[in-house]
A and B are shown apart, each in its own frame.
Chain A
Amino acid sequence: MKKFKLSTFNIFMVYLAFLLGYFVYAGFAGSRLLGDDKEEYEPEGVRTHSGNSHHYRSYHK
């Protein structure tokens, strides 16, 4: 079996494969690579909807 050599070319090809692979994964998973602004809370988390923990930032001019 041909030995895999860690050359710059091979690193580049692996890098490209990773990028395209991750793009495909993100496409099927509905992921946005930059993420989003939502906050996630587990069911047993401390926060409830009745509280004031999420005040909207002021839009005052």
Chain B
Amino acid sequence: MLQKVGQFFGCVNCKRSLVFRTEQANCVICTNCRALNYRLSIPEKEAPVTEKVKEEMSVIRVGTTGTFREIKFEVVGRYQYLFKDGYRNHWQIVFSDGRESWLGDWAGNYSIFQAHNNTVAETFANAVPGKKVEINKISFELEMLDEHRLTLAEGEVNDLVLGLKGFISLFFINPSGAMALVNIYPQKKADAPKGVYQTPRIEIFTGNYVEFSSLNLQNTRNYDDWR
């Protein structure tokens, strides 16, 4: 059965009403029982259950709304990446004009970014903090690199992402407020000698840091004690 965008359906496991708001996600995680409800599902088959996201004091939640460049958006899901030295939330947002994007949220930093795929992996070879690279015709400087430990998710996600582990994540900044994130996934052939990898697969996001107040977020978690 194929679930259409905007069409409500019951959770495979607990019958909680769910809906797909995006075209990209292949499943939506039930807010009640954590079951992965696939867009294309086999009726009567029990859905796998995921781990709950961790509490990291984010005020954003699935259902939070806001505006970016005067266009309204709604948060429909998130990946919560936990790294060796930090964490990162990628909130999946859907704009009122139908576009999909990401709202970044970590340690008081907020950003809006999109996936971008026109940069080769060699660009990031020998990456050290302070190194300059050009991504999407913008000059960036490497601020930080971190090692992935765990990915958790909620709302509308792609379950393939949950399975990707052990990547290196690079944080890039540009003084103008532009930012970029690069995830480098080492790929190793099953029969390859120890320490020999194929060209890594890379995942790139570019966007801009934004002020929290400029997002005009509504339906957030209550944070009155922190205002």
A/B contact in complex, CB under 8 angstroms: no
Residues of B within 8 A of A (CB): none
Residues of A within 8 A of B (CB): none
